[in-house]
């Protein structure tokens, strides 16, 4: 569910629901203005989800859009650090 230019992420993004979130991310990055990802409830994230998130970050950068994280969960930060993607994701 999104509010304005904020996209609220679910409890889990994984290979099981990656297609659904890819579509949501494509729509989200098409929005104008600053983009905010609210990841406070994200308790499970796998490698495919982080790859998708990185693609979103890169797309936003390529289109000169401001993208930021609101309340990134401990699970998201931990997994991103383990995979060496925390800086690339802007966490």
25 three-class SS: helix
Q: How many domains does the chain have?
A: 1
Residue 33 token pair: 């203005």
Q: Please report, for residues 25, 37, 39, the alpha-carbon distance to residue 1 in angstroms, rounded to integers and kept in the order given.
A: 11, 11, 12
Residue span of the structural domain in which 84 resides: 2-89
**What are the mean pLDDT values of the chain's consecutive 10-residue runs (91 residues total)?**
75 94 92 90 94 94 92 95 94 92
CATH number at residue 43: 3.30.750.24
Nearest partner of 7 among 30, 39, 41, judged by Cα = 39
pLDDT of residue 4: 56
pTM above 0.85, yes or no: yes
pLDDT score for 55 = 94
| CA angle 88–46–87, rounded 5-degree value | 15
């Amino acid at each position: 569910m999104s509010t304005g230019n904020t996209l609220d992420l679910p409890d889990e993004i994984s290979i099981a629901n990656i297609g659904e979130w890819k579509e949501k991310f494509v729509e989200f990055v098409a929005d104008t203005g600053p983009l905010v990802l609210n990841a406070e409830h994200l308790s499970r994230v796998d490698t495919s989800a982080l790859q998708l998130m990185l693609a979103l970050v890169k797309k936003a950068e390529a289109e000169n859009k401001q993208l930021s994280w609101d309340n990134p969960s401990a699970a998201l930060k931990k997994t991103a650090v383990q995979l060496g993607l925390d800086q690339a994701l802007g966490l």
